[in-house]
Structure 1
Amino acid sequence: MALRSDWLPALAAFESAARHQNFAHAAEELHLTASAVSHHVRKLEDRLGVALFQRHARGVSLTAEGRQLADAASDALTDLDGVLGELKAGRDDDRRVRITTLHSLTYTWLVPRLPTFSAAHPDIHLTVDTEIALARFDDGGPDLGIRHGPGHWPGLTAHRLMDDTLFPVAAPDMPGLEKVATPADVLALPLIADLSRQGWHDWFRQAGVHGAKFDERLVFSDATDALNAASFGLGVALARGCVAAPYLDGGRLVRLPGPAVATRWSYYVVYPAHRRLRSAARTFLDWMLAQVE
């Protein structure tokens, strides 16, 4: 017997009634009336020529034939539900952008701006990875990456996001800060460093303080941790402007005397040169570039 499309409503009503062992509960689940569910089941029984339920004063129960059909219907709907879920997940995946970036830039520059992106593109979902190790842009890997470097990496297309500068910052209530009037005076304070390629030696030389001998009391692998330490009065940190901005705007840090030294490297958005960006990833890339115009 061929399964025709006009059997489907009756089979759906039967499967729900069989699962609940109750027409009223099936009706509630399917947004039908109990009499409509009963009608669908009767119609199915007439077509098959067998009784699927035993009806009695306390309700209904499946016959042997009804149990056989209920098991088959349940298996079929489970298979369909799985396929539908996979198809929907695939469609949702087209609207998800995976980005690998730096923790410091994520915390201080990217996250504060994301509400604007989410409001403009509520259908695009983001996965942000801030691992220190450089991610591989394999199939299934990130769509975009933000890197701090010279701007050329084999196999990657790079868009300049922004340049940056270095300058010293400290907590406004740090002891001894009132005595700092020149770049040379910074040497009298505890210094905090991170693992950036440009550090205190570069800044003091650009500030005209030659032959400076200094002691880096604390060294952090991440620039954000260095700024947090400075905000607690542990010393003076050498900050990158885009990372330090929220600390300065919020009053947690103040800038000390001395020049803002241009960094040798810049921030870039990168992606595989051989791969065409999906629509959602292109939208996110364009949005990031617009943030710094």
Structure 2
Amino acid sequence: MAALRGFEACARYLNFSQAALELHVTQSAISHQIRQLEELLETELFARTAGAMMLTQAGVELLPIVRRFLKDFSALATRFDRDVQGPVSIELFVHDSFANTWLIPRLSAFYAKHPGIRILLNTEDFSRFDNASGQAAIRLEAREASWPGLYSEFILAERIFPVCSPALVQRLGSPETAADVLDFPVILRARSMANGEQISTPSWDYWLQKHGLTRSSLNCALVVPHSNMAVSAAIRGLGVAMARTSHISDELHTGALQKLLDEEMDSDTGYHFLCSPGRQNSPEIRAILDWLKSECGDQSPVGA
């Protein structure tokens, strides 16, 4: 089994070092595994020339067989584990703000429908979800985004609109046009990268551009790094936040926030569901994906 897993990883990366890193073993251990497999089959699986590595014809023929075996073995082991251990746990990589404002408020409905599945939320640097050892992820990217080597499905389109507290509207009045929104104090979102670079989020820029307005016209009252902070600040009357449909549910329903304009503007981003190729057909992943698509089809506020 170790040799087969080592071969599959080497075939994916065409690099022993990267394969060893993924499997948490040494490079010499990977080399030994491949050598054992080649001795067993009495043929070379990799050609090594001029510092580059590629699959031989034997390796090309073996790869789909190994991948199918590993997939079937994993599915069988998961079923055995479920029979012994009870509920199956699926690790789901997701944005922190999306988890807090959209996913967690809906999870009780998922558990009621699928009591045999438990979700382990992981919000730590999910951008590393890029190999077959991962389970599933929900990523916010442009609608046309793609992830080579992963199964991806677009599940939720984002719409954006400015929101603030009713008290702020009472004090400043209701805007009639998009330009009138510029009379309000605005809450912007930006975050610092590890290298110190400031990255601005595109929501306000996108909204301004679509309305033919300029960023210099904004009356910035506060800058925060995350969407949930912007929403919290807006509830407390500090200014207007640019909200996304996935981040505003109970706040609009309870009246803690209100839209400044009736319109909701389509954005060029949305949420994609990702998993390793073939995993979308496993019972647990399919249950999660189908439930997500069902929930994403209903944009009404939670509890409405």
**Do they superpose with TM above 0.5?**
yes
The code of the aligned residue for 1:181 comes to E
How far off its partner does 1:244 sit? 1.4
How far off its partner does 1:210 sit? 5.1
Matched, 1:243 2:235: no
| Aligned residue number for residue 129 of structure 1 | 122
| Aligned residue number for residue 259 of structure 2 | 255
The code of the aligned residue for 1:223 comes to S
Answer whether contact 1:191 1:236 (CA < 8 A) is retained. yes
Q: Which has the larger radius of gyration?
A: 1
Residue by residue over 1:36-84, the C-alpha shift from the partner in whole angstroms, topping out at 9 and shown as x without a partner, is xxxxxxxxxxxxxxxxxxxxxxxxxxxxxxxxxxxxxxxxxxxxxxxxx
Answer whether contact 1:193 1:200 (CA < 8 A) is retained. yes
**SS where residue 256 of structure 2 aligns?**
coil
| C-alpha distance in structure 1 between counterparts of 2:249 and 2:280, whole Å | 34
| Aligned residue number for residue 149 of structure 1 | 141
**SS where residue 137 of structure 2 aligns?**
strand
How far off its partner does 1:221 sit? 2.2
| Aligned residue number for residue 289 of structure 1 | 293
| Aligned residue number for residue 226 of structure 2 | 222
Q: How does 1:19-168 map to 2 (within 5 A)?
A: 91-92=84-85, 95-138=88-131, 141=134, 143-150=135-142, 151-168=145-162
**SS where residue 284 of structure 1 aligns?**
helix
| Aligned residue number for residue 284 of structure 2 | 280
Answer whether contact 1:94 1:280 (CA < 8 A) is retained. no
Answer whether contact 1:191 1:217 (CA < 8 A) is retained. yes
Answer whether contact 2:151 2:275 (CA < 8 A) is retained. yes
| C-alpha distance in structure 2 between counterparts of 1:257 and 1:168, whole Å | 7
The code of the aligned residue for 2:137 comes to G
How far off its partner does 1:120 sit? 1.2
| C-alpha distance in structure 1 between counterparts of 2:224 and 2:214, whole Å | 25
Distance 1:211 1:234, change over 3 A: closer
Number of aligned positions between the proteins: 206
Answer whether contact 2:186 2:222 (CA < 8 A) is retained. yes
Q: Which runs of 4+ in 1 moved over 4 A?
A: 87-91, 137-140, 274-277
| C-alpha distance in structure 2 between counterparts of 1:172 and 1:193, whole Å | 19
| C-alpha distance in structure 1 between counterparts of 2:174 and 2:277, whole Å | 52
**SS where residue 264 of structure 1 aligns?**
strand
| C-alpha distance in structure 1 between counterparts of 2:176 and 2:107, whole Å | 38
Greater mean alpha carbon deviation, residues 88-97 or residues 143-152: 88-97
How far off its partner does 1:284 sit? 1.1
Answer whether contact 2:87 2:115 (CA < 8 A) is retained. no
Q: Which of 176, 180, 184 does residue 175 from structure 2 map onto? A: 180
| C-alpha distance in structure 2 between counterparts of 1:176 and 1:132, whole Å | 41
Give the TM-score normalised by the residue count of structure 2: 0.60
Identity value in percent: 29
Residue by residue over 1:174-195, the C-alpha shift from the partner in whole angstroms, topping out at 9 and shown as x without a partner, is 2633253322222122111224
How far off its partner does 1:132 sit? 4.6
How far off its partner does 1:213 sit? 1.8
| C-alpha distance in structure 2 between counterparts of 1:157 and 1:170, whole Å | 38
Unaligned 5+ runs, structure 2: 1-79, 191-199, 298-304
